[in-house]
Structure 1
């Protein structure tokens, strides 16, 4: 392998309390692929659905798409070749210094995610292009982008690497990351452990790590 594309998304929020509608987990998910053919397949699906007068949004987004649309998207995704890596962070177990700021928490998660998940692919390539779904306000975007750049630099990659932060709607391969992240989030966040969507992508998951699984202190 000489070139690899990596697309990333996150699920969860940066709120640390037990109020309603606050996520328990923060999840970082990346998908790696040798080419971006899956993006062409998803664009074709959008055109086919539009032709059939199916109601769709401006882009595929798992949390807002109707279930019928999700079914179509997962059918396309499940037939394509790519790998999924996910790091799960149970927020109530985060020590105070880890969640001192949103940037600190975000960088902490990315540090452990990239440090360990990249072992699955880094040694076998010459060039890596990372595309991450941008989040937050303009100021937060800059802070988050700087955090990830610092994490990647710490890896001391000898191969050439490129890093982009794009809105999720800008690239159909980011839709893949969004759908995979959402499916994993449903597994952890839903009280009944909703595995319906997770099971559709489970065979593509090569790294799934609950960072504080063995911790028993809640802050």
Structure 2
């Protein structure tokens, strides 16, 4: 049995006030080896280097538009090899008891991974490997990791192994793919810009506005 890989990225911040972002998104890209898309993006990176661009990694919010176009072209042409899921949180509707990082991540990861495992049978995989970008704050990293582990223990079959890794996105093309997918989803919700979202729409298996029926604003 092969391993199931889940790469996570987030958009927005956890400032629950009017000065914070309106939305928070948590997006997963799920895949199994071989990672053909990673090879294509690595080749693209070297193509761009030969064209004169000094790129250490692909990062959607920082890349020039012509670079984003070429990255999204690669992702869009390989949607069959990945699964994209996302939880969208309108933060004003988040109850105050969920505002702590540990509680917030645990709840949102639970909803997100429920959608992933609903259609991806974990019984077919010997282990699940969850990878996030390196988080700068130790407290946030610990809260995020605890939430992931708690969620995996609750959802995975008893004999399924799991790992939680925090890697710099420079080291992983798959994390860079997750960054691009999450950026496209966050842009759609935060600014109404659907250009990039349309390119990956067919690969998005779930995009759940978790408080869509909520009518109470807490700030």
Q: TM-score, normalized by length of structure 2?
A: 0.91
Q: Do the aligned partners of 1:28 and 1:87 also contact (CA within 8 Å) in 2?
A: yes
CA distance 1:123–1:145, shift in 2 (3 Å): closer
Is 1:126 matched with 2:115? no
Q: Distance in 2 between matches of 1:125 and 1:10?
A: 27
Residue 107 of structure 1 aligns with which residue?
A: 106
How much does 1:122 deviate? 2.6
Residue 15 of structure 2 aligns with which residue?
A: 15
Cα deviation, 1:9-64, whole Å, max 9, x if unaligned, reads 11110101112xx31111111111222221111111110001011x3432100011
Q: Distance in 1 between matches of 2:32 and 2:44?
A: 21
Q: Distance in 2 between matches of 1:2 and 1:57?
A: 32
Residue 47 of structure 2 aligns with which residue?
A: 48
- Worse-matched range after superposition: 29-38 or 180-189: 29-38
Q: Do the aligned partners of 2:6 and 2:130 also contact (CA within 8 Å) in 1?
A: yes
Is 1:6 matched with 2:6? yes
Unaligned residue ranges in structure 2 (runs of 5+): none
Q: Do the aligned partners of 2:102 and 2:146 also contact (CA within 8 Å) in 1?
A: no
Unaligned residue ranges in structure 1 (runs of 5+): none
Q: Distance in 1 between matches of 2:95 and 2:55?
A: 39
Q: Distance in 1 between matches of 2:89 and 2:32?
A: 28
- Worse-matched range after superposition: 78-87 or 132-141: 132-141
Q: Do the aligned partners of 1:56 and 1:65 also contact (CA within 8 Å) in 2?
A: no
Q: TM-score, normalized by length of structure 1?
A: 0.91
- Give the secondary-structure state (helix, strand or coil) at the position aligned to 1:74: helix
Q: Distance in 2 between matches of 1:104 and 1:167?
A: 24
Cα deviation, 1:171-215, whole Å, max 9, x if unaligned, reads 11100000000000011000xx11100000000011111100011
Instruction: Please tell me the root mean square deviation across aligned C-alpha atoms, in Å.
Output: 1.6
How much does 1:160 deviate? 2.9
Q: Distance in 1 between matches of 2:213 and 2:134?
A: 31
Larger helix fraction of residues = 2
Residue 33 of structure 1 aligns with which residue?
A: 31
Q: Distance in 1 between matches of 2:54 and 2:92?
A: 36
Q: Distance in 2 between matches of 1:214 and 1:153?
A: 29
- Worse-matched range after superposition: 77-86 or 120-129: 120-129
Residue 67 of structure 2 aligns with which residue?
A: 69
CA distance 1:92–1:56, shift in 2 (3 Å): farther
State how many pairs are aligned.
213
Q: Distance in 1 between matches of 2:14 and 2:149?
A: 20
Residue 58 of structure 1 aligns with which residue?
A: 56
Cα deviation, 1:69-106, whole Å, max 9, x if unaligned, reads 1001001111112110111111000001011x122212
Q: Do the aligned partners of 1:2 and 1:126 also contact (CA within 8 Å) in 2?
A: yes
Q: Do the aligned partners of 1:56 and 1:69 also contact (CA within 8 Å) in 2?
A: no
